Structure 1
Amino acid sequence: MKRAPNLPATPRSDTLHQALGHAISDKRLEVLRRVAETGSISQAARDAGISYKAAWQAMDTLTSLSGVALVERTVGGSGGGGARITAQGLALLALADELARARQAVLARFAGGPALAGGLGLRTSMRNQLPCEVLGVAPAAPGDPTVLIRLRTAGGAALAASVTRESADLLALQPGTAALVLCKATAVQVQAGQPADPAAPNQLAGRIDRVARGEGRDEVVISLDGGGQWVGFAAHPFAARRGQRAWAAMATQAMVVALA
């Protein structure tokens, strides 16, 4: 058996928890759990309904985030080799289970807990976060490794995000999935008035809440139709004022999909 190189042999409290912040709401922990049960990455992938490549991507991501080896390759034997979860991997699963129980206990104390908890577990520099419903997942083009995720906001606006097939599989994205859409404010272009084609994707309309003036560009906060806010930038000087109509536009590559 071989251990992954350049990783500490024993887990530390300040490393394992890094993996939980990113993996608790997708399939990465599920894949790790299935590796522990089956002793096989390929079987874990089949049981989780994802590709072999996506399963290894899940293990690589968890290992990088936690800073310790979670899975070891095994060689030889009648089965021709496989994978074995390490003590650090078992510790991560135990920590995840304990965290899940504690989280459920807290949510149970509050009416409407799941709705309130939408983004509480997510720490990010992205100011734009909006609850959405997944409408569809389709390949960007024949043979392309990316897929296009179509989403709808509470206000009925259409959004689209471009992600890799492995990422979509690990998040188990499918029609009806409740998700969060995130976008860096610096990737958002704001214009006054109404979009020329309101039905086009990645256009969010609303009323200007505030404008922060800058030298080359102005930061604009929009209160969206249907609820929520969106932050972006407009060329200076932005002539529109608070209360007037404005809309934000983003590229599909700038949109990030997350699960709460």
Structure 2
Amino acid sequence: MKKTRLQIAGALGHDAADKRLDILRRIGEAGSISEAARAAGVSYKAGWQAVDTLSNLAGVPLVERMVGGSGGGGARLTDAGRELLQAADELALARSEVLARLAGKGDRLPGSSSLAALGLRTSMRNQLPCTVAGLRAQGQALRVQLVLTGGMLLFSRITRESAQLLALRAGQQVLALCKATAVKVSAEASSEGVNLLQGRTKRVSRAAGGGEVALELDGGLQLVGFAGPGHGLKVHSSAVASVDESAVVIAVAP
């Protein structure tokens, strides 16, 4: 059977922006996922989610269970898990050295969080810098209030575990991501229970069956979505983009 190799780039290509690597490190120290999760300030479920996600990205198991013993068993890092942490430490050191060098360039370059966001590769065409204004529990989920450039509000609905792993807090700078296909553009607001973003059209598909529309939001941010048949939109006309809260993904730069 062919041995599967550790995919370091896959596991670390999304940065150590959340607590996944911290939890993995704590598992190695404590020998327990529950203790690691508790020390990291997340739930046991979120701890396992962190391990599962990292293992999927790495392509190999990073943690293995230990059965038996006086403590009833626990968990320990695999060789791949230890190798991944070492690679993460080396990358963090290299990154800090680069940012320290760029810090001397003053206002000619964006801040470190913006620089990190430039390296984010995703199929989601809409990537909007914003600030977390608040978090409110709604059943088993959390509703995150975000403020876009210009003061426009955007809401995202995520799980509690995701919020814990991202360590979300008020005042934190994040990216709001959503697919263009999740954005519906129309001349007037007609949806309820979704984000409604006002703007002006920059590009409009002339297809009879509807098509892609590019908007400039109040505040200068660009947004891409789709309008339905007979939308009646023209370039430079007012329009409203509607996005379901559950379609808004939050990304955090280190």
Correspondence 1:94 to 2:86: yes
Structure 2 counterpart of 1:38? 30
Q: How many angstroms apart in 2 are the aligned matches of 1:107 and 1:237?
A: 50
Pairs within 5 Å for 1:215-234:
215-234=208-227
- Residue number in structure 2 paired with 1:246: 239
* Counterpart-to-counterpart distance in 1, 2:143 and 2:204: 32
> Are the counterparts in 1 of residues 202 and 215 from structure 2 also a CA contact under 8 Å?
yes
User: Cα 1:215–1:243, aligned 2, differ >3 Å: closer, same or farther?
Assistant: closer
Matching of residue 192 in structure 1 with residue 187 in structure 2? yes
CA distance in 2, matches of 1:214, 1:37: 59
After TM superposition, give the deviation of residue 101 of structure 1 in Å.
2.1
User: Structure 2 counterpart of 1:99, which letter?
Assistant: L
Equivalent in 162, 174, 177 of residue 157 of structure 2: 162
The answer to whether the aligner puts 1:146 opposite 2:123 as a matched pair is no
1:47-86 → structure 2 map (5 Å cutoff)? 47-86=39-78
Relative to the length of structure 2, the TM-score reads 0.88
Q: Which residue of 2 aligns with 1:3?
A: none
Closer/same/farther in 2, CA of residues 107 and 62 from structure 1, 3 Å limit: same
Shift of 1:156: 1.0
Q: Which runs of 4+ in 1 moved over 6 A?
A: none
**Aligned: 1:109 with 2:101:** yes
Q: Which residue matches 1:130?
A: 128
Separation in 2, partners of 1:45, 1:39: 11
Q: Does 1:119 align with 2:117?
A: yes
Q: Percent identity?
A: 52
TM-score (norm 1): 0.87
Is residue 72–residue 85 contact of structure 1 (8 Å, CA) maintained in 2? yes
1:82-119 per-position Cα deviation (integer Å, ceiling 9, x unaligned):
11111101111111122222222333333443153152
Q: CA contact under 8 A between 1:132 and 1:151: conserved in structure 2?
A: yes
| C-alpha distance in structure 1 between counterparts of 2:41 and 2:236, whole Å | 48
Q: Which runs of 5+ in 1 are unaligned?
A: 1-5
Shift of 1:10: 5.7
Partners of 1:108 and 1:202 lie apart in 2 by 38
Residue in 2 that maps onto 1:176: 171
Of the candidates 205, 215, 231, which is equivalent to residue 212 of structure 1?
A: 205
Aligned residues between the structures:
246
Which stretch has the larger CA shift, 64-73 or 16-25?
A: 16-25
